[in-house]
Structure 1
Amino acid sequence: MFHAPALSRIPGGSDLSLLLDQLSHCCSRPRYAFMLLTLIADVARPDGSAGPEVRVGDGRVALRDWLCDALTPMGHRDPRRMALVERVRDELRKDARLSGDTTADDVLVQEEVRNRVRASGKTNLSRAASELVKAGLLKRHYQGYRVDHLNRGAQRQAVYTLTGRARVLIGTRAAPRRPAAPPRQGDLFAH
């Protein structure tokens, strides 16, 4: 088929364009991988590492759960997602778990759909993270209950660290905007 020339061969390619080029060659789903890297960069510390937990409101959520939840809206119009909602509703109806209260039933259905989407999302996330690790764009290790180590298990949670060209995403965060104080009359001559 047709192949575009690699940006690394084109002089003057920006760091971000080089990252996108690398993703297009090393990942089976480069857009998904880019979204994943961007989300990790959003919560990363200055050293590029994120996890094992992310602060959400007053609580903390495991990084992988947060990433799955953040990526979930990307598929809300997907016909498979809509079919899943109907399948879950039918299963809950057959199990007599629906109360007849439309609002309460919708909450129950959405919670079950969210749990199922999160479970499958973790599989997608792990696959993408493995590709990014092989490409040298991400480092993964686990922290938790007993000992920090490379293998998961025993209540250990993933920690991702941006490496290589992915580190360019750390510097792209927008600075938090402070609301400007409204101008006060008389400041010009006040002393």
Structure 2
Amino acid sequence: MFHGSLQPRSACNGDRSALLDRLAHASSRPRYAYMLLTLIADVARPDGSAGPLVAQDGGLVGLRDWLCDALTPMGGRDPRRLALTERVRAEMAKQGETPSTAAIEEEVKLRVRASGKSNLSRAVSELVAAGLLRRHYQGFRVDHLNRGAQRQAVYTLTGLARALVVRPSAPPPASARARQGELGF
């Protein structure tokens, strides 16, 4: 029908489509897993590793907490989230408190983060099994494969997931850079 030459896909596009195919077969929730991988890639170093801490609002937050907080808005209109907000409001009122909106939101955030960590762990386990992510723990004493003793999770993108890591652009050649006091045209 059409006889024009087809442009070959770039390696990045091919890697992403292969990644989506792998996620569709390896994960019970492929969209959630893809969101998780892209968030990890956003904070990953050039070697593909992210964590144990992420800079947020001038402070440092644990990677798992940051991921849970970043994924929280996705369920904002979910009826279960709305029911949780009402349940928290009722619990605070039952204790004799006049709950403020900020106090309710903070309590809901803590509860959602706690349940989000179990969802996160399940998705990470599927990604590790699929060969898209490697997990280890870093912290107080020494790096270790098992958590505990104040260790924090570190996730490293591997295999096809490395296509999500933004590669830093190379600096311009010295001849193209302007010297101090000169305008580079």
Structure 1 partner of 2:50: 50
Distance in 2 (alpha carbons) for counterparts of 1:97 and 1:47: 50
Among 124, 129, 132, the residue aligned to 1:134: 129
After the TM superposition, which segments of 4 or more aligned residues of structure 1 sit over 4 Å from their partners?
A: none
Matched, 1:20 2:15: no
Matched, 1:116 2:111: yes
Distance change >3 Å, CA 44–CA 68, structure 1 → 2:
same
Structure 1 partner of 2:102: 107
Distance change >3 Å, CA 113–CA 173, structure 1 → 2:
farther
TM-score, length basis structure 2: 0.82
Deviations 1:6-34 (A, max 9, x none): xxxxx967110110000000000000000
**Which amino acid in structure 1 is aligned with residue 127 of structure 2?**
L
**Which amino acid in structure 2 is aligned with residue 163 of structure 1?**
T
Matched, 1:153 2:148: yes
Distance in 1 (alpha carbons) for counterparts of 2:152 and 2:84: 28
Q: Shift of the alpha carbon at 1:95?
A: 1.2
Indicate the SS of the match to 1:111.
Answer: helix
Distance change >3 Å, CA 173–CA 32, structure 1 → 2:
farther
Distance change >3 Å, CA 114–CA 67, structure 1 → 2:
same
Indicate the SS of the match to 1:68.
Answer: helix
Query: Which sections of structure 1, spanning at least 5 residues, go unmatched?
Result: 1-10, 100-104, 175-191
Q: Shift of the alpha carbon at 1:172?
A: 7.3
Deviations 1:86-140 (A, max 9, x none): 00000011112325xxxxx100000000000000000000000000000000000
**Which amino acid in structure 2 is aligned with residue 133 of structure 1?**
V
Distance change >3 Å, CA 62–CA 141, structure 1 → 2:
same
* Contact 2:46/2:167 (<8 A) preserved: no
Distance in 2 (alpha carbons) for counterparts of 1:172 and 1:68: 25
- Alpha-carbon RMSD: 1.9
**Which amino acid in structure 2 is aligned with residue 117 of structure 1?**
V
Distance in 1 (alpha carbons) for counterparts of 2:167 and 2:16: 10
TM-score, length basis structure 1: 0.80
Count of aligned pairs: 160
Q: Shift of the alpha carbon at 1:173?
A: 8.4
Among 163, 168, 176, the residue aligned to 2:163: 168
Structure 1 partner of 2:139: 144
